[in-house]
């Protein structure tokens, strides 16, 4: 089993920066891809970013390109999401996800492991 635990979500002012972390524990060697999704009230879960652990290839959602950066630590157990130039549209619950497929997926249904989420609120 793999457990994912997110941290770092807080209230931040627009224009500010924030770093989220996702710690993976358990059978992490079976993982190929880890990513972040977010969900605002009344909206569907949206792809934010993902990284393939073997070669650190990355994908980003269009709304965060150039502002957010996903990275993995050298132990391949913690994924971080550096978020810059935050705006109110970035508000939501941010979920860490993991998958055992080599291909980097950008839809939530393709991920079978999820964390509990961490709230990010960007004030105007």
| pLDDT tens for the 124 residues of the chain, in order | 889 999 999 999 999 999 999 999 888 777 789 999 999 999 999 999 999 998 999 999 999 999 999 999 888 789 999 999 999 999 999 999 999 888 999 999 999 999 999 999 999 8
CA quadruple 51, 53, 102, 24: dihedral, nearest 10: -90
Q: Which two tokens stand for residue 47?
A: 């792809």
* Strand 118-123, strand 11-13: pairing: parallel
């Amino acid at each position: 089993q793999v457990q994912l635990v997110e941290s770092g979500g807080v209230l931040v002012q627009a224009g500010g920066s924030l770093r989220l972390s996702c710690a993976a524990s358990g059978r992490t060697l079976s993982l190929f891809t880890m990513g972040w999704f977010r969900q605002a009230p009344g909206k569907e879960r949206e792809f934010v970013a993902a990284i393939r652990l073997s070669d650190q290839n990355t994908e980003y959602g269009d709304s965060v390109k150039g502002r957010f950066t996903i990275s993995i630590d050298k132990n391949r157990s913690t994924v971080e999401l550096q978020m810059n130039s935050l705006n109110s549209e970035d508000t939501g619950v941010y979920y860490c996800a993991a998958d055992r497929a080599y291909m980097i997926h950008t839809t939530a249904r393709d991920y079978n492991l999820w964390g509990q989420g961490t709230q990010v609120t960007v004030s105007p």
